[in-house]
Amino acid sequence: MPNFREFLRMIYKKRTRPLVEMHGLHHLITIHWDDQQMAMSTRPNTETEKITINLGFVDLGSIDLLVRESVFANRTDFIRTAIRNELARHDEIARQVKGRDTPVLGIRHVVRADLEAARDAGEMLDFRVLGLLSIANDVDAELAQATIRSLSILGAFHAPPEVKSALADRLA
């Protein structure tokens, strides 16, 4: 009886097309199984932010032990789970703050037309975001300064470099 690795090799040799196809970087993976296609969507990079953390050797070894024992798929899985657990523990505090400030939860994308409409109406905008605030690449620094009064971002801020510089004094 073949082991699992040999079994996969036998299946793969009989294939007329690849078992797994990648369609674009981190966007779509198609898995072929028994001439059936199953599409799995993976998250594009715009929905996650990479962070770097420093851990002591003992903590890192403990994580590796849990990964080796298949408690977690990998280090990233462990870290994401730990972060979600901590966020759940402090959910009441976050809920109180969210209710007080009423920020946009998730992704807020600002396009040139939004800012031009505000400018034409003589309005100044205040953005409070818990997640990602993204300003389109066609927005210039002058338009942003003329229409954005304040920014409060808990998460990430993506914008052209000149727009970020122009709004640096308005970040709370």
pLDDT at residue 96 tops 80: no
128 occurs within a structural domain:
yes
Q: What's the Rg (C-alpha) of the chain? A: 23
- The tokens for 99 are 């209710």
Choose the final residue of a domain: 31, 56, 89.
89
94 occurs within a structural domain:
no
83 occurs within a structural domain:
yes
Choose the final residue of a domain: 30, 62, 89.
89
72 occurs within a structural domain:
yes
Do 158 and 115 belong to one domain?
yes
The pLDDT assigned to 10 comes to 62
The pLDDT assigned to 159 comes to 95
For residues 10-28, one letter each, b for 16 or more C-beta atoms within 10 angstroms of the residue's C-beta and e for the rest, the string is: eeeeeeeeeeeeeeeeeee
Which residue do the tokens 């066609």 mark? 138
19 occurs within a structural domain:
yes
Structural domain containing residue 61: 47-89
Do 52 and 109 belong to one domain?
no
96 occurs within a structural domain:
no
The pLDDT assigned to 81 comes to 92
pLDDT at residue 43 tops 70: no
